Amino acid sequence: MSVEATDAKTFYVTTPIYYVNDAPHIGHTYTTVAADVIARYQRMRGRDVLFATGTDEHAEKVVRAAEAAGLDAQAFADRVVTAYHDAWGRMNMSYDRFIRTTEDVHKGIVARVFAQLLEKGDIYKDQYQGWYCVPCETYLREDELVDGRNCPDCGRPVEEMAQDAYFFRTSAYDDDLVREIDRRPKLVQPDTRRNEVLSFIRQGLRDNCVTRLNTGWGVPVPGDEGHMIYVWFDALINYLTVAGYGYDDEKFARTWPPDVQLVGKDILPRFHATIWPAILMALGLELPGTIFGHGWWVSAGGDKISKSRGKVVDPQAEAELLIEESGCTTDVAIDSVRYYVLREVPFGQDGTFSSEALLGRFNADLANDLGNLLNRTLPLVERYLGGEVRQPGPGAGCLTEQVTAAVSRAERGYEELDFRDVPEGAWDLLASANKFVDERAPWDLHKTGKKVELTAVLYDILDTIRVVALLISPVMPTVAPEIWRQLGLEEMAVEMSWDDCEVGQTPVGAKVERGRPIFPRIDMARVRQRAEQQALQAQEQEGSQGQQMISHEQFQELDLRVGRVLDADRVEGADKLLKLTVDLGEEQPRTLVAGVAQQFGPRELIGQNVVVVANLEPATIHGVQSQGMILAAGEKEPVALIVADRDCQPGEKVT
């Protein structure tokens, strides 16, 4: 069924535009997947959509990265942009516009906006004296620096600057900003971030420096070519360029303002919730519907995953791992990564990325719950109904309540950007449907000749699978059509429309077409075994590389402390491991996992003052998070524990 557009306004959704100094990783992918999901959902609702993303290219660090790669800045940017195009293509991102800030049309709009604000007096020339973080492209005040010289965000040293510059009169807009954010609770989201933003603005805003001396890479200040427009000002204007501002009035009227702007929490308070709306106010333009600051993917140690911090999770590599372990197709693997990032963590909060959790979700949610329902139902339809959906009698509609609940939960999830609600609702429905199959036992109905009931039960199950496919299709845009195909709906040219998210829309006569299982099961025991083997091999390799000297400074990086073992217990299913509760003189005792269970009983450890590596990155071992490591003698296996030979306080430093 095709749907009439429900709203004349184009639904406009944006991601941040990404710096081209490195290739996309899980952080960039996360925002783009979320925006893609919104765009796909809105299209299913019949809306005209503009989903825009792109690249932020005029950064100082691009020039430096280009120099290091022996390329000029434009050639370097072109190369990284290709990596973005490729990655987004592989992830099935359905953007309508990919903007590059090096496009002429954009550079023209940046210069034009700058000139407009200059003329209005909202931009003025003065002296800039202060600090600048090159990697973050951020101007900083002295009181914001860490240890008087480091950037509060990336921790690296900042550079001092003193020069003539242009300033944007942000300070003129603080009251208006507070009023708007107060008046429109949806403007800045989620609520916790909105409160942070409000208190940030209430402290009073200072005008922002919006130019640097012209280095030849960027948009020059109109009429004063010795200066160049600051990369952040340039980048924010992309949202206007994409909407047609200044060159396509009809498009702009239809598109502006953005309905949803997604950004990470790091670029929300200062840039997207302050300078950006202040620029719009200065231009007399309407503010966006919602600016949402999502959380970060962090590594096990709690650090943001990013190349500058030396930690990167590559979604492609994660998809390849899924393919290797399960034998699923590339499309299914990509959809599964998309599913994982939206289901694992509430949008807005931080999450720890773990390949093991990804594989686990694939098995539990996708192979077991969804795949299993499909794989057990289609053969029943083939066997009992000749493979064809039959007209159900009055007994059908047994899952109506559960379907309705899942649909409204998904709608809420998509509309409120609470994406986790979508799979959670759909999976509740799948659980009901799987239970329904068990309880109504179609094989018994067949045996006892209850044809009418059998037809109705199988109809209800197929119809439920159809609705689940619709609900998840923005998140899993290739899996959903494959389910559609297996239900015989593609063959009947049934469109995937949100309007059909209700019971009883499965057409009679559809011929099911069993395919190979979409989600082949993963042998998790084998995965664990292999991971343990790899860890062991790595250790052995390290050991065989001969003795390497370390410096005093390197040794001092180790935080060795005395820890008193308060409790010790075996770890279920792991005969080498003990789970220890250790007092390190901190507020809370820590949990540590130690591979000493075959040599030491739990009782031998309780009360001992062991030596603990206290600043070791936490690691999850056999499902238990270990926050440190105890020391023992013995190369292959522990033969003696290293303990303090006389009494001392927990937490005492070992030097």
Residues lying near ligand MSP in the complex (CB under 6 A):
16-19, 27-28, 30-31, 56, 235-236, 263-264, 266-267, 296-297, 304-306
Cα→Cα distances 569→232, 578, 584, 605, 644, Å: 54, 6, 18, 10, 22
In whole angstroms, the minimum distance from the beta carbon of 279 to ligand MSP comes to 11
Give CA 311 to chain center in angstroms: 15
In whole angstroms, the minimum distance from the beta carbon of 305 to ligand MSP comes to 4
Residue 577's contacts (CB-CB under 8 Å, 6 or more residues apart) are 570, 571, 593, 594, 595, 597, 621, 622
> Residues 107, 109, 112, 116: is their CA dihedral positive or negative?
negative
In whole angstroms, the minimum distance from the beta carbon of 90 to ligand MSP comes to 18
- The CA distance from 79 to 85, in Å, is 10
Tokens of 495: 């469109």
Residue nearest to ligand MSP (CB): 264
Residue among 236 and 260 whose Cβ is closer to ligand MSP: 236
Integer Rg of the chain from CA: 29
- Quick check: 17 and 101 in contact, CB under 8 A? yes
Residue among 33 and 461 whose Cβ is closer to ligand MSP: 33
Residue among 27 and 371 whose Cβ is closer to ligand MSP: 27
What one-character DSSP code corresponds to residue 394? Answer: T
In whole angstroms, the minimum distance from the beta carbon of 219 to ligand MSP comes to 14
Report the run of H or E that residue 66 belongs to, with start and end.
helix 60-69
**DSSP characters for 292-339?**
EEE--EE-TTS-B-BGGGTB---HHHHHHHHHHHH---HHHHHHHHHH
Tokens of 387: 């493979």
**Residue 563: phi, psi to the nearest 5?**
-130, 135
Residue among 27 and 425 whose Cβ is closer to ligand MSP: 27
In whole angstroms, the minimum distance from the beta carbon of 412 to ligand MSP comes to 23
- Quick check: 244 and 257 in contact, CB under 8 A? no
Residue among 262 and 445 whose Cβ is closer to ligand MSP: 262
Residue among 17 and 334 whose Cβ is closer to ligand MSP: 17
- The CA distance from 26 to 619, in Å, is 20
In whole angstroms, the minimum distance from the beta carbon of 168 to ligand MSP comes to 15
In whole angstroms, the minimum distance from the beta carbon of 242 to ligand MSP comes to 11
Phi-psi region of 208 (alpha: psi -120 to 50; beta: other; left: phi over 0): beta
In whole angstroms, the minimum distance from the beta carbon of 352 to ligand MSP comes to 11
- The CA distance from 224 to 563, in Å, is 64
In whole angstroms, the minimum distance from the beta carbon of 30 to ligand MSP comes to 5
Residue among 31 and 255 whose Cβ is closer to ligand MSP: 31
Residue among 109 and 621 whose Cβ is closer to ligand MSP: 109
Residue among 304 and 338 whose Cβ is closer to ligand MSP: 304
